Amino acid sequence: MRYEKLAKDIIQNVGGKENVKSVVHCITRLRFKLKDESKANTEALKSMDEVVTVIKSGGQYQVVIGNHVPDVYKVVVAEGGFASAAQVDADDENEEKQSLFNRFIDVISNIFSPVLGLLAATGIVKGLNAAFVALGWISNVPVNATTGAVESTYGIYALLNAIGDGFFVFLPIFLGYTAMKKFGGTPFLGMAIAAALVHPSLAGIKALEPIMTIFKGTMFESPIQIEFIGIPVILMSYTSSVIPIILSTFFAAKVEKWAARVIPAVVKSFFVPLLTLLIIVPLTFLVIGPVATWVANGIGQGVLSIYNTVPIVAGLILGAFWQVFVIFGVHWGLVPIYYNNLAVMGYDSFIALTFAASFAQIGAVLAVWLKTRDQKLKSLSLPAFISGIFGVTEPAIYGITLPLKKPFIMSCIGGAVGGAILAVMGSKLYGAGPLGIFKIPLFIDPTDGLTTGFWGSIIAMVAAFFVACVLTLLFGGVNKQADQQVFSENKNAIKGLRSEEIVSPIAGEVIALTEIPDQVFASEAMGKGVAIVPSNGRAVSPVNGVVTTLFKTKHAIGITSDNGAEILIHIGMDTVQLEGEHFTAHVKQGDKVSVGDLLVEFDIENIQKAGYQVVTPVIITNSADYSSIDAIREKIVSEKQVLIRAV
């Protein structure tokens, strides 16, 4: 029950449970997909003590909680009765159009987020096992080559290896589940496809004498051991692979939906998966798998060639900007490269360059803790530092260094130094999963033990930490009045905000927000303002400013005034479901508007005939930035008459 109130407040301020399409979580964040982001009260969420910050990225509305996000997530899901992201039809026609990059980030994050905890856990076991072997505590061979005696500690190694390596070897099965969910198919069907790809019998078939060789003399030259209805089958190794199963489930979800439409309901329960498997599994072995494997190998070799050409530059860039990538969520775009390198080459030397960045971040936080005279800042710095030791840097970034600006810059410099050292020393990761100090054992070479690359990871970690710490102590400006004001008074303050009179965008009857039948607006969770019952079907600009939001359904318009007021005009209740019918927009997003410019026309009569109310809230969504928001006392208002005074 500890997080019940927090969960209720979060649900309310993301626009209520009816505004949530799905919610998942990663290590520190609740990742919502909302139907209408304008209904979310970002400032209210940011002001909660238990919320670190709010990020909008990759088509997701991300509420950053911290280390205890799994517990909060359970309560949020239970409280809201939410579906997971993958239970939402991936082909939903009402889904907002996203850029190709945002869709890619959304897909990758939803596929990998559910397995991050397991990857971290098994990665720790694998790293510790390698460390125990390197230190001579246990043996990784069953029989001593010199004495011929049985190694008594081999059993420890074997079982720990099974725990640490098993998950990654059969990773395609787990990704088959999460990817199929994301693409809108049946998850267990995705697992069945992946299980076929990693079936043990395939290893034995690959050992047979080839009956032919295709693509001779090219980089795609492949021995053929078996055929399928006369078509040569290129047998690849799909254990630990990433790209083949993701592509396979993408097509499988589409085949399954097609099969569900054409197969009679009486036999659908078993004929749909039967037909999907009979189409997709052979297609994967014949085409999707080999092509995906060649692509994966090409990516691996391409990344390796970039690294080998200018390793120190790669280290400087990745080390410096990794925390920036984390802020915007774009680090997910590099996750497949990491796992692909491990599957193809057995190690990764690219993402390894980012290892020291989190230690640079906590070096800057330690400097803030040592130097600041602000007690609130000091009290937040220590837990953020502890979280960062274990690789969870969001509390440090959003709570400490980013609001103060200069410490964040110093941490990026420290990360660049660490990345350069990792590159020069040739450090490599031999496993996936854990963060922070738990990642150290993964730099141990399973064959050669404590190599130069391992010691390079230690040197880089220490160097990044101390460079960021010292630079922040010297140049972080921690106790400068301006920086303290940013943190202590209002870290999200909008500079240049001025008092303003906001005129009415609509003629009609003025009523209080509390009188409208929508809890989000009535509770002022979206901000303060009034509601208007329109007397005619037109809305004009209430200020001089810019149209920052125009929903494709044309029922809601967001305008930011030249004086900094953020105004939402929401025509009607639940009119989003009309999908733009009976609305005509006369502006587009990004347009500059002046007071009285026509924004939208709407057909009151037909909207009401369709069963919807036309009462229109006019909200100042950044109300928290003002000392007062006062509405006029008149009951009837005309266009361009003063409606709200924001002080």
Q: What is the DSSP string of 473-502?
A: HHHS-TT-HHHHHHHHTTTTPPTT---EEE
Distance in angstroms (rounded) separating the CA atoms of residues 557 and 350: 44
Distance in angstroms (rounded) separating the CA atoms of residues 638 and 508: 6
Query: What pLDDT was estimated at residue 127?
Result: 77
Query: What pLDDT was estimated at residue 206?
Result: 78
Confidence label for 85 from pLDDT (cuts 50, 70 and 90)? very low
Q: Helix crossing, 311-328 with 406-424: angle to 10°?
A: 140
Percent helix, strand and coil across the chain, each to the nearest 5: 50, 15, 30
Catalytic residue among 26, 331, 469, 582: 26
Query: What pLDDT was estimated at residue 604?
Result: 92
| pTM assigned to the model | 0.53
Choice between 109 and 477, residue whose per-residue pLDDT is larger: 477
Choice between 99 and 125, residue whose per-residue pLDDT is larger: 125
Beta bridge partners of residue 163, listed in sequence order:
none
Choice between 490 and 153, residue whose per-residue pLDDT is larger: 153
Token digits of residue 389 = 């030791």
Would you say 630 and 616 are in contact if contact means Cβ atoms under 8 Å apart? Answer: no
Domains and CATH numbers, the chain: 4-83 (3.30.1360.60), 170-306 (no CATH), 309-488 (no CATH), 500-646 (2.70.70.10)
Which is nearest to 128 in space by CA: 166, 157, 170? Answer: 157
DSSP secondary-structure letter at 274? H
Q: Is the pLDDT of residue 289 over 80?
A: yes
Q: Is the pLDDT of residue 299 over 80?
A: no
Buried b (16+ CB within 10 A) or exposed e, 228-258: eeeebbbbbebbbbbbbbbbbbbbbbbbbbe
The share of the chain scoring above pLDDT 70, in percent, equals 88
| Residue 570 known to be catalytic | yes
Catalytic residue among 25, 331, 555, 570: 570
Distance in angstroms (rounded) separating the CA atoms of residues 595 and 452: 67
Confidence label for 105 from pLDDT (cuts 50, 70 and 90)? low
Count of residues in the chain: 647
Would you say 462 and 353 are in contact if contact means Cβ atoms under 8 Å apart? Answer: no
Q: Is the pLDDT of residue 496 over 70?
A: no
Average pLDDT, the chain: 83
Please count the other Cβ atoms lying within 10 Å of the Cβ belonging to residue 370: 13
Of 91-100, 212-221, 281-290, where does mean pLDDT reach its minimum?
Answer: 91-100
Q: Which amino acid is at 287?
A: V
Q: Are strands 583-585 and 592-593 parallel, antiparallel or unpaired?
A: unpaired
Stretch (H or E) spanning 618: strand 616-620
Q: Is the pLDDT of residue 58 over 90?
A: no
Token digits of residue 621 = 């969504």
Would you say 331 and 322 are in contact if contact means Cβ atoms under 8 Å apart? Answer: yes
Query: What pLDDT was estimated at residue 501?
Result: 87
Q: Is the pLDDT of residue 329 over 60?
A: no
Most confident range, picked from 66-80, 307-321, 581-595: 581-595
Query: What pLDDT was estimated at residue 404?
Result: 81
Distance in angstroms (rounded) separating the CA atoms of residues 583 and 605: 12
- Distances in Å between the alpha carbon of 11 and those of 17, 42, 330, 538, 576? 6, 12, 25, 32, 20
Q: Is the pLDDT of residue 96 over 70?
A: no
Query: What pLDDT was estimated at residue 493?
Result: 41
- Tokens 């070096």 belong to 363
| Residue 26 known to be catalytic | yes
Compute the C-alpha angle 490/495/500, nearest 5°. Answer: 110
Query: What pLDDT was estimated at residue 244?
Result: 87
Condensed to tens digits (0 to 9), the pLDDT of residues 578-605 reads: 888 899 999 988 888 999 999 999 999 9
Would you say 537 and 625 are in contact if contact means Cβ atoms under 8 Å apart? Answer: no
Mean pLDDT of the region 204-226: 81
Query: What pLDDT was estimated at residue 92?
Result: 42
The share of the chain scoring above pLDDT 90, in percent, equals 25
Distance in angstroms (rounded) separating the CA atoms of residues 284 and 289: 5
Condensed to tens digits (0 to 9), the pLDDT of residues 390-411 reads: 777 777 887 788 878 889 999 9
Would you say 352 and 440 are in contact if contact means Cβ atoms under 8 Å apart? Answer: no
Would you say 37 and 552 are in contact if contact means Cβ atoms under 8 Å apart? Answer: no
Mean pLDDT of the region 26-40: 83
Token digits of residue 113 = 């987020």
Query: What pLDDT was estimated at residue 494?
Result: 39
Of 35-49, 51-65, 412-426, 466-480, where does mean pLDDT reach its minimum?
Answer: 51-65
Query: What pLDDT was estimated at residue 46?
Result: 83
Mean pLDDT of the region 560-569: 88
Mean pLDDT of the region 418-437: 86
